[in-house]
């Protein structure tokens, strides 16, 4: 094959010279002068690359062929991945939902979360822009924040008053009523959400209760998943 390559190059060069010389006579059909120049450039590029490959791998042509095939396959896979990038992103997002407790998968105004190994729905919420881990609690009439979560969300703790009776794992206690500017999960954001702040040391984790869930268009638990749908 290496011995034939120079003759192939010579034949291509002669053919291009003849075509270029006869171009004005109409031999090349509808090709314009620019098209003809482009054709010569591309053919020359192919010859140059082919010659470089044979020079690099002159001791093993099959190795050169295998290397070229490898890069062709890589290019094909890249094109395929780009073509189906949205589908691949959706698959990856679903896998992360299963692997990372609290991670939400968002499609439009629908948010999907998976049940954690503990049996609870752990949800990574945002309250006033601050990340606040919560547990879904449909038995809680309101969103309930721990004292630490309320502090992270920038709530004015020095002005709140603990006047509402609540039942916690530590028994009955008092909580402070507040209104949260923004509560976000995935692509769903609700504003002016009524909530309660627990006293210091009374709760270990915040609760996502009905004062948020009732704002949604719908929500449902399907086996090991919970789906929330916000209004358009």
Structural domains of the chain in order of their starting residue, each with its CATH number: 4-83 (no CATH), 102-229 (2.40.70.10)
> Average pLDDT, stretch 142-157?
95
The chain-wide mean pLDDT, for the chain, equals: 76
pLDDT at position 26: 46
For 55-71, the pLDDT digits (tens) are: 665 556 666 666 666 77
For 171-191, the pLDDT digits (tens) are: 788 999 999 999 999 889 999
Q: Rounded to an integer, what distance in angstroms lies between the CA atom of residue 222 and that of residue 230?
A: 17
pLDDT band at 142 (very low <50, low <70, confident <90, very high): very high
Whether 143 and 163 have beta carbons less than 8 Å apart is answered as no
Q: Helix or strand or coil: residue 172?
A: strand
pLDDT at position 2: 47
Backbone angles phi, psi at 22, to 5 degrees: -95, 0
Q: Helix or strand or coil: residue 119?
A: coil
pLDDT band at 211 (very low <50, low <70, confident <90, very high): very high
Q: Rounded to an integer, what distance in angstroms lies between the CA atom of residue 23 and that of residue 17?
A: 10
Whether 214 and 200 have beta carbons less than 8 Å apart is answered as no
Whether 171 and 140 have beta carbons less than 8 Å apart is answered as no
Q: Which residue has the higher pLDDT, 48 or 31?
A: 48
Q: Rounded to an integer, what distance in angstroms lies between the CA atom of residue 152 and that of residue 174?
A: 20
pLDDT at position 21: 55
Structure tokens at 7: 């003759």
pLDDT at 99 over 60: no
């Amino acid at each position: 094959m290496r011995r034939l390559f120079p003759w192939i190059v010579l034949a291509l060069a002669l053919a291009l010279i003849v075509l270029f010389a006869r171009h004005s006579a109409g031999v090349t059909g509808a090709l314009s002068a620019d098209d003809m120049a482009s054709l010569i450039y591309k053919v020359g590029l192919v010859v140059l690359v082919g010659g470089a490959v044979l020079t690099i791998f002159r001791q093993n042509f099959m190795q050169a062929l295998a290397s070229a095939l490898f890069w062709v396959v890589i290019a094909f896979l890249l094109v395929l991945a780009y073509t189906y990038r949205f589908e691949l992103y959706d698959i990856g997002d679903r896998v992360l939902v299963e692997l990372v407790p609290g991670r939400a998968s968002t499609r439009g105004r629908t948010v999907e979360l998976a049940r954690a190994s503990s049996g609870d729905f752990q949800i990574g919420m945002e309250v006033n822009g601050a990340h606040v881990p919560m547990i879904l609690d449909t038995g809680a009439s309101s969103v309930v924040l721990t004292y630490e979560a309320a502090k992270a969300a920038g709530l004015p703790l020095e002005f709140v008053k603990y006047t509402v009776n609540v039942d916690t794992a530590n028994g009955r206690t008092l909580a402070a009523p507040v209104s949260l500017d923004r509560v976000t999960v995935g692509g769903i954001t609700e504003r002016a959400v009524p909530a309660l702040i627990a006293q210091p040391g009374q709760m270990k984790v915040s609760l996502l209760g009905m004062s948020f869930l009732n704002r949604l268009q719908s929500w449902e638990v399907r086996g090991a998943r919970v789906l929330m749908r916000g209004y358009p």
